[in-house]
Amino acid sequence: MGLLSLRRCRRTGTGGEHMTKGIELRVALVTGATGGLGSAIARQLAAAGCRVVVHCGHDLTRTESVIASCIAAGSDAVAVAGDLVDDDACRRIATEAAAAWGRIDVLVNNAAITRFIPHADLEALDSATFRRIMDVNLMGPFQMTRAAAPWLRAHAAGSVVNISSTAALAGTGSSIAYSASKAALNNLTLTMARALAPAVRVNAVVPGYIANDWLLKGVGAERFAALTAAQTAATPLQHAATPDDVAEVAVWVALSARHLTGELVRVDGGHHLGTGSVVVPNERRAD
């Protein structure tokens, strides 16, 4: 399945007035762009002045909605579909994405899958499920980065942002396979940052808990509410992240952090710090 009609979708009017000087010609390809976080990243990239290539699944209604949000943000967008596990499909996606505006400046590897399987239930995680999660969450980003590399290198200012998870840092998350796949993605970020330097920056955004529809559907409304309340209470900022919170950081890393590469940028509201207060003793040590 290739580009969905590969039609350039423009807002009416003169367009482009909002665009930040210096990035108005950038083209960003976002995988998994029809999900909650992916759509937020696509929309914010469009608002920042990027033309956006929306990698989508089979939900045409959702795809059109994301494209419309990019147009409403003031930019252009097209949609492309393809299986990221298939290397030939990844190369086609990159080629067709580049054909839309003649370049690719930013690649956001956001697409990912999981299964909600208790870590202690080892027998519930069969090898086929483990491999499928690794294929999508690790091989997909590698193959897409490799496929897009010629265009990312072309202007000596390319940027790759891998969307990871704090599950990789703590050995937590929806399943052992998911946690392992994101840990491997973190390492891929470091190795690709070396491999593609100096022309391309490669970083990972590492979000913690995100209160989004994907999780709501995965765990159900009652558990979702309990998890969100618990995460809010356990975070110094007393806030459960939204997709827009994480997208804001991803867009900054993609477009603005010129001297940042090989970094794992944690976005968890300080959850890793805990909520305990620091006790400062009254006594002063005599020198």
Query: Active-site residue numbers?
Result: 178
* Cα→Cα distances 91→31, 149, 155, 191, Å: 13, 10, 19, 21
Encoded tokens for 284: 């002063």
**Cα–chain-centroid distance for residue 261?**
16
Closest listed residue to residue 15, CA positions, set 73, 100, 63: 73
CA of 227: how far to CAs of 33, 121, 232, 236, 245, in Å? 25, 20, 8, 16, 18
Q: How many CA atoms lie within 13 A of 8 on its CB side?
A: 11
* DSSP string over 182-194: HHHHHHHHHHHHH
Tell me if residue 53 falls in helix, strand or coil.
strand
Sign of CA dihedral 52, 101, 97, 150: negative
Residue recorded with tokens 């967008």 = 77
H helices present in the chain, as ranges? 36-47, 60-72, 87-101, 127-134, 140-154, 167-170, 176-196, 213-219, 221-233, 243-255
Nearest in space to 214 (alpha carbons), one of 57, 16, 64 = 57
Supply the DSSP symbol for 190. Answer: H
Q: Tokens 């190795």 belong to which residue?
A: 191
Q: For tokens 């052992």, what's the residue?
A: 176
